[in-house]
Structure 1
């Protein structure tokens, strides 16, 4: 049976869209080049790398019973009215976004693209990517013209994994089309899924929304991280400062420090545009500084660990260290960009004996080696020379940890008085 919608890329972006579309009674097919991922979905399982809490095995089975199909056959792409590219984009070593997954998805779609199809892009990209990178690939591969033969638009993903209040449906959807007709075609599609659609002036404006929203988070977390270091050095309780400051009813939004910044929303600096060798010639200084500040937080945590051990007559070499919570966000197992890995690697290189506990991560490897997993965090904390709370999962008994742990470094400011806080 032909589908109305093809979701291209069944990862952390594509699966929530497919779930929302299926729930809205839109006949949906999911396309992915990874046969293992497709096989897992067909069997009613959540792919192992999609562990952000947005999907469950029961949810996948409901999608399948409602008609959702996962496939590796690109022939399916030629039978839909709407195709949404949800390919992952990550920062490379040169700090440029890797757009090649978008290019691969676009070429697969272009070979099957039919007139009057609506093509949408949701991946995190630079302003201009939809027009300057995606459009030529689609037009060359299909022989069709965007804005004339098919509709083309961009819509930034606004997913917040683990958020119990805002999901795909009730989060306003920003769209920007190549032409007014493209924008309206995109609005007609998303209007079937989302409660509110917000029209941008064009795809570049919609793409810049993603840049602003992502960098807003990173810049403000960087400020909180700098304040954490500053307040510790002068003997001020930062967490009390934040608690008081957030009572201001205007002009302030509370952000909290941590051991580093993870997640799929990487900081985007348009100065690093690699696909056409273009550059602004200057960086977004606030973004660059935020990345620098956030990037050094794992090293600061290591410094605090070594200092605490030293103050209690112990060396990092040979110390038994327990890491609690290794995902990038509370109550999730997703480890994308989590600072826990760098912290663990540095502690290992210093000679520490590591164990970890995370209720959402059954196995964990660092520097190519498995890290022993503790069965009970309270018992493990009592046995460890130092316990480091990297992620505040709801299941953790912070009062008990504060009592049981020989030394507790709380990087999230969640524990009661008595613990050492970041």
Structure 2
């Protein structure tokens, strides 16, 4: 019997480390600190995506769809290899950035993710195969595999064209795009539809199919929005705009599917999980609109020139959409409790830091007044993240210890 709460505890430990690294990155602009900013940023992003979010999602997928397969030893081996890779990246990236050892561990992680994908597709119990929820999960796993083209390309680009090449950034954006728009979002939607299925809620098959096709079309075509920073030919803007419009239609289709069941959310989910899901739903709309605007040359160039728009957008997606939804689902499946103190501290940290990040970009763009202690405020408000996550981690470890 696998103790999945222990696995979530490990994922939360990575989440806490990510938050602590985030503070160091923020204080780097306030006081002189003896580390390479870019190297630590690599460690921060890799641990966030692969240590916390990846482990959270794969643990949920295992619990929901694969526990019945009776392959605990195989899953434990995959989990162990995955953590060796994450710890290797966590130790090597801060000191060398993209170099021999960090590349070895990040490459091994790709193989670990392939292994998990094979495990899921190969051993899924037959009664899940016709479910819409599994269709979404399976597609998300293929996006996970497809996203790895980016990291594979980075090695070749660095060896031949160097890190200053447009293909270096394009490879990174390719990876990020299919991670959060493909793997993360579809996996979370798959879990959501599983919850509805288990609660006896049915949807029109034609509308489900329409939503699925629109969603996947949008994932593929919004990729063009990730390359507008180097001012490509006009056709790229058109294709990106098509993807953004279809994405809007896809989520409107999702809204039509769910609107008659919104009241049931309060019956299915705990109150704090409902708060998190409402925030995620609201910010999905903001995300979609930001992507829609970024298809136009003026705003695409603006985002490229003002990096804070991109930083704010990425934090909005990961902290405001993906992580809030992930926490709500972990609560639903009783893998995690959400203390009130954590919830409000986390939301306060998220709201205030996002407001400052976007205000800086707006101030530069529109010529608004700016204040000299901006980086100090941003750094100290960011300290709320590890405090909140520390509370969550402590409560989780304490509850698991008491239950054992």
Q: Which has the larger radius of gyration?
A: 1
Higher relative contact order (CA 8 A, sep 6+): 2
- The answer to which structure has the higher strand fraction is 1
Q: Same fold (TM over 0.5)?
A: no
- Which structure's residues are more often helix, by fraction? 2
For normalisation by structure 1, the TM-score amounts to: 0.28
